[in-house]
Amino acid sequence: MSKELLSEEELKELYDPRSVCTPEERLEAVANHILKGMTIKDAANQVPNPDLTPSVMYQWKRKKWYPKLVQKLRGIQDEELTSKAIPIMKTALDQINDRVLYGDEKVTKDGERIRQKVSARDLTHVVATLQDMRPKWEEADNQRNKEEGEIKDTLQDIAGMLMKTVKEARGGVTIHDHTDEKDITDVISEDEVPDNDADVQGHGAIYTTP
């Protein structure tokens, strides 16, 4: 399962002939930790390799390949969450759009269903919320590749349509595009490495890297 997460070339970057783990075992352990939310201890224990201990996984954090792998796995996780969130967001925005155009549905004392105009306060809240969300969508997209840029385009089209509807429905509501470019850095969490986690043999011993 974990092997399918990376291409053959990406998997080769995890190979080290001195390591106690294969590339597949490294990938599986890190995927357990990042994608499944397991602790370092549980993530290591799930891999059928007695030489793979939590101490070894802590040492991986010092390796050049580790942050790249974590970033790759988080990207996969983001894609999965986004694919599930977009249909929900579209449905919610469609319903908001309907309320802005035709008002909230109310039931009178006589049981009659009528449409009551959305209040100015609610309209202001809708506009403010969408304005806050647009820069976040753009910032998130800066962390994805060009193919994933289609997600931002879809969301911006929906947001733009809804804000235009709000402006036309209530007249005089001005939408200001104040998107600021920001430098986003994905910081990898560095857990504290135990002092005794790197047991290196003395002179003359064969050294194996984690």
Tell me the pLDDT tens digit for each residue of 40-55: 999 999 999 999 999 9
In a domain, 82, yes or no: yes
Statement to judge: residues 58 and 116 lie in one domain: no
Statement to judge: residues 52 and 85 lie in one domain: no
In a domain, 95, yes or no: yes
Across 33-42, 118-127, 177-186, least confident range: 177-186
* Radius of gyration, alpha carbons of the chain: 25
In a domain, 119, yes or no: yes
pTM over 0.75: no
In a domain, 175, yes or no: no
In this prediction, residue 142 carries a pLDDT of: 64
Average pLDDT over residues 97-125: 86
Is there a contact between 75 and 44 (Cβ–Cβ < 8 Å)? no
**Total domains, the chain:** 2
Is there a contact between 199 and 6 (Cβ–Cβ < 8 Å)? no
Q: Which domain holds residue 22?
A: 2-63
In a domain, 55, yes or no: yes
Give 208: exposed, middle or buried? Use CB within 10 Å, 0-12, 13-18, 19+.
Answer: middle
Statement to judge: residues 127 and 80 lie in one domain: yes
Across 35-49, 152-166, 174-188, least confident range: 174-188
Statement to judge: residues 87 and 150 lie in one domain: yes
Statement to judge: residues 80 and 133 lie in one domain: yes
In a domain, 203, yes or no: no
Residue type, 137: W
